[in-house]
Amino acid sequence: MRHLTTPLILSLSLLLACPGQTPPPKTPVAEAAPEVSALGQSILAAIDPQADACQDFYAYACGGWLATAEIPPDKPEVSRGFSAVFDRNEEVLHEILDNAAADPGDDADLAMVGAFYGACMDTEAIDARGLEPLAPFLEEIAAIEDTEALMATVGRLQVISVETLFGAAVEPDYKSPDTNLFMVMQGGLGLPDREYYLNDEAAEIRAAYEQHVANMFLLLGDNDEDAAAHAATVVRFETALAEVSLPLVELRDPVTTYHKLDLDGLQGLTPHLPWKALLEATGYPDLTSINVATPGFFEGLDALVAETPMEDVHTYLQWWLISESTGALGAAVQAETFDFYGKTLSGAQEDRPRWKKCVQWTDDYLGDVLAQLYVEQMFAGDSKEIAVEMIQRVEGALQAGMADLEWMDDTTRERAVAKLGVILNKIGYPDKWRDYAGLEVTTDDHFGNLMAGRAFETRYWLDQAEQPVDETIWYMTAPTVNAYYNPLANEIVFPAGIMQPPFFDRTFPKALNYGAMGLVMGHEVTHGFDDEGRKFDSEGRLAEWWEPEVAERFEERAECVRELYSGYEVLPGVNLDGDLTAGENIADLGGIKHAFGAYRGWVADNSAEEVAGLDGEKLFFVGYAQSWCTLRTPELERMRAATDPHSSPKFRVNGAVSQFPAFGEVFGCEVGSPMRPETACEVW
């Protein structure tokens, strides 16, 4: 069970041929390199001076880096921006946790994270226990005879984050966002999306998945014949769930996923599923208000459970128990899980080192303890003040841009400006840290610690169901390399984890800070007005605040963006889904425009810059592109194209700059060239 937020930024081309045109002059990078700073040399080294910025800006800005970069064997991708920051942060957290495990002293917080991390690193003890920790759960599953017992067991599994049958969460009520609401939604699939079960193109992946499930049942003690039969049962059951699941594109519409019912209403929708038994098993029998995000799925789930032999349901639950417990079990389970999810599905060649997994799990379940130690080292000085000024300038640029939008009327414009004016910006780290009192952690039981952490997290959120929303809460930890806009609170959160080089540094030229981190800021601010965010008003309420004719004109412009990105091919025969990625693409297009406007405003108040032979405005665009330089395995690229609401990095760069006329002006691109087409999509 988890908390949901609106789609997050930052996991995150069909280039038009223009023969016969004279390429624009290249920046004379070779002559400048020996004289520039280490920062400048790093920027120049990533550039391919032989590439034409007006034909393919990503190739120009990233070509030098792409020519030398290699994907590490334990990853399916590497990037100049995100990977660099993530790896650096990971090393910082690693050192903190190693020290805490070795000698926490008298510090209770250090002792807690040290014990959690130390138990996770004790692979000898974990391997010695094998699958024995699963025994009580397997016995409970085997004893299920009716749907009353089934729902009770599912409830107890959901508490420890085994999200079998369906997903669940707590988040603000869309229509009354000052109160939290329990939500249930479609789920229960082991493959990334419903389409993997239903499309012929995914037949090979399905076969590999079924073999993976069989291999896991072998580890549970099955013989070959029984393991194959059980795997077939799981895939058959999950395929039935996929058939009643909504496509990802439809889940992007908050109107589609808001259906508030009381408990009786949910029970009437699913007469064969005793919800009271589930709520009692979770320890929250008095919950009465529920958002049933996908009613059709639950009607289908109800029918599926009613017609499926209970023995087959046992098999499905057993699979989900071992699959979702992988991180707490020994080497054999870890290796088998990596072989499918890491290698087959994503293209990584080696499993991640144990310490990296343990760092991640400690951050997952003791995040605010670890975050305090991280922030002390990595977000000091006047970083926060500089970031605050940047976001204020970016928001000011968006407001100024709204005044020039011919497709908006004055009434809607006034409401949009009012919404922009009350966005809450949270930067670096929360004002109030979470309290982990009641979470018991030992030095010698990794399985117990992980399950205790999951249960603590679940109850943390369930305690808030039907209670007032706590406006101080963050839905990411401070070391996280990411950012998000939350429409239900009309807030933007920028963790300290992403506010690191090459995205941000207090000593960087402002062109780099605005090109990388400023664009992240512009992206998130624009999310408040993309095709999802625009449906929430200034108070975070799902409400129609646009004049009808203005909403129609917005959709016309959004459709231009959808069509543009649908034309980008990430692999031969594999295109981006312009509908799935619409919100993120709109945010990218708005983000680059308003970050650039903010930078020009800063220059007007200060002075122009030059680094490594690049003037400030060129450096802005290069900084943006180089934060996205990425190598991915074909397997990951294919999966992301099907499931990720963010476009592939190359097209996040080329798509954004090609639709922003100022880019073409700065780089001297001829009108009609790929990066400066005659007509462009503009929403914000």
Give me the active site residues, please: 524, 588
**Residue 385 contacts by C-beta under 8 Å, 6 or more apart in sequence?**
none
* C-alpha to C-alpha distance for 290 and 168, rounded to whole angstroms: 10
* C-alpha to C-alpha distance for 129 and 123, rounded to whole angstroms: 10
8 Å CB contact between 480 and 503: no
Structure tokens at 218: 């072998």
CA angle 391, 619, 388 (to 5 degrees): 15
Integer-rounded Cα radius of gyration of the chain: 26
8 Å CB contact between 9 and 587: yes
306-318 per-residue burial string, b: 16 or more CB within 10 A, e: under 16: eebeeeebbbbbb
> In the 8-state DSSP scheme, what is residue 16?
P
* C-alpha to C-alpha distance for 184 and 656, rounded to whole angstroms: 36
Largest CA distance in the chain: 78
- What is each CA distance from 388 to 98, 216, 398, 425, 595, in whole angstroms? 33, 50, 16, 8, 14
CA angle 402, 406, 410 (to 5 degrees): 65
| Three-state secondary-structure class, residue 261 | strand
Structure tokens at 492: 């933007």
The residue written with tokens 């229960």 in the block is: 188
- HSE-up of residue 234 (Cα within 13 Å, Cβ side): 32
Three-state SS annotation for 444-492:
CCHHHHHHHHHHHHHHHHHCCCCCECCCCCCCCCCCCCCEEEECCCCEE
* C-alpha to C-alpha distance for 684 and 673, rounded to whole angstroms: 23
